[in-house]
Amino acid sequence: MFLSYLRSCSSEKSFSWLNFQMMQTRNTRWSIVTAALNQKRSGRNFHAFAILKTAVFLGLFLHFCSVGVVAQESEQDVSFQRQNDRVLVLLGQGAEQKLFAEYRNQGLAKPVLYPVMAPGQVPITRHFPMDDTHADEAQDHPHHKSIWFAHGDVNGLDYWTEKATIENKSVELRDDGSLVSTNAWLSKKGEPICSDVTVIRFSAGDDWRLIDYEVTLEAIDDIVLGDTKEGTFAVRTHPALRLVGKDKKATEASAVNSVGTQGKAIWGQAAAWVHYAGQIDQSPYSITVMDHPQSLRHPTTWHAREYGLVAANPFGLSYFQKAAKNAGDLTLNRGEKCTFRYGVYLHLGKLEASQVEEVYQRYAR
């Protein structure tokens, strides 16, 4: 429709100067506008103003259609079902309803999201240790539970490896597709030293799903969030997204970050996002973990490993950047707060790095 309208504004010959290349949408939308302005400046009467208006509209259309993500599609209905030890996150209605994720808030050392289903109802995170029946999975690091938020040094207490407990106090379910979880970080005596309010927003389209995970941490006592690589917001991926298998051999999966670093070299780097991709059941899937600009110490450093751990960690600076000991410490006095916000984008289909960047820019707005 857009192509036909543009052709109607000029002859076939005069249209050729537009150099309309549909495969390069970013360049296209600006080259069309520039070409129209040049035509007007040169005095050629090819309805330049009409072309310009259409070009602007077309540019916006291409911008939102170039990836096939959130801005293009209407979102699916998100609802919740509360059970004794968890909350089910559901998509759709009636007979078409399907599971997106479960928020498991009781019976564990910390709340976790498990399972987490990508489009096509494919589990996108590791099952172990909640389910140890999958022979293709490495059964290492039992504290790596799907998707979670914890830290390895809070006043010397280790919530990352579950030597200390994050206890859920309540979960509020909202009509806008979000849940609000209130949690207490307990000392060895069972007393809270800090608390968090976690807001998790869920949305989905046909080939994508998004988890927007925002944590506001408040000090009850004076606390220090210590400089350690063991933290903080983390995903343990499906084994097909590992860069090396449990046999330590390289796989066909890939990883890249927002600054263009690839493979295991992304570990410790500061970046706005990290993207892992591979084949699951012969279909291309990916996880992109994104650091929102509102988050503490954006862009965060990453404890992102070749075996499928993808963790945003803004604290481990002495490990990641060879900074001075304790350089990454953060002190919160009683009553002080800090906010962390991360997105987990699940996608069915191949995405180039430029497309991942567009996904991130939409998330970051």
The highest-level CATH class for domain 78-364 is mainly beta
- How deeply is 322 buried, as exposed, middle or buried, from its count of CB atoms within 10 A (0-12, 13-18, 19+)? exposed
Is residue 21 within 8 A of residue 66, CB to CB? The reply is: no
Contacts of 152 (CB under 8 A, 6+ apart): 158, 159, 160, 161, 226, 228, 229, 230, 231
The SS3 call for residue 316 is: coil
Number of helices followed by number of strands (H, E) in the chain: 6, 19
Judged by DSSP in three states, 31 sits in helix
For the chain, state the CA radius of gyration: 24
| Residue ranges in the chain assigned as alpha helix (H) | 2-8, 12-15, 25-42, 48-65, 317-320, 353-364
- Of the CA atoms within 13 Å of residue 47, those in its CB half-sphere come to 14
Per-residue pLDDT of the chain (365 residues; tens, 9 = 90+): 333 332 333 333 332 222 323 333 334 334 433 444 444 444 444 444 454 444 444 444 444 444 444 434 438 999 999 999 999 999 999 888 999 999 999 999 999 999 999 999 999 999 999 999 999 999 999 999 999 999 999 999 999 999 999 999 999 999 999 999 999 999 999 999 999 999 999 999 999 999 999 999 999 999 999 999 999 999 999 999 999 999 999 999 999 999 999 999 999 999 999 999 999 999 999 999 999 999 999 999 999 999 999 999 999 999 999 999 999 999 999 999 999 999 999 999 999 999 999 999 999 99
User: Among 227, 158, 228, which residue's Cα sits nearest to residue 193?
Assistant: 158
Any idea where the domains of the chain sit in the sequence?
Answer: 2-65, 78-364
Cβ partners under 8 Å of residue 198, min gap 6: 111, 149, 180, 181, 182, 183, 213, 214, 215, 216
Q: What SS3 state is found at 349?
A: coil
Instruction: Give dist(CA 140, CA 209) in Å, integer.
Output: 27
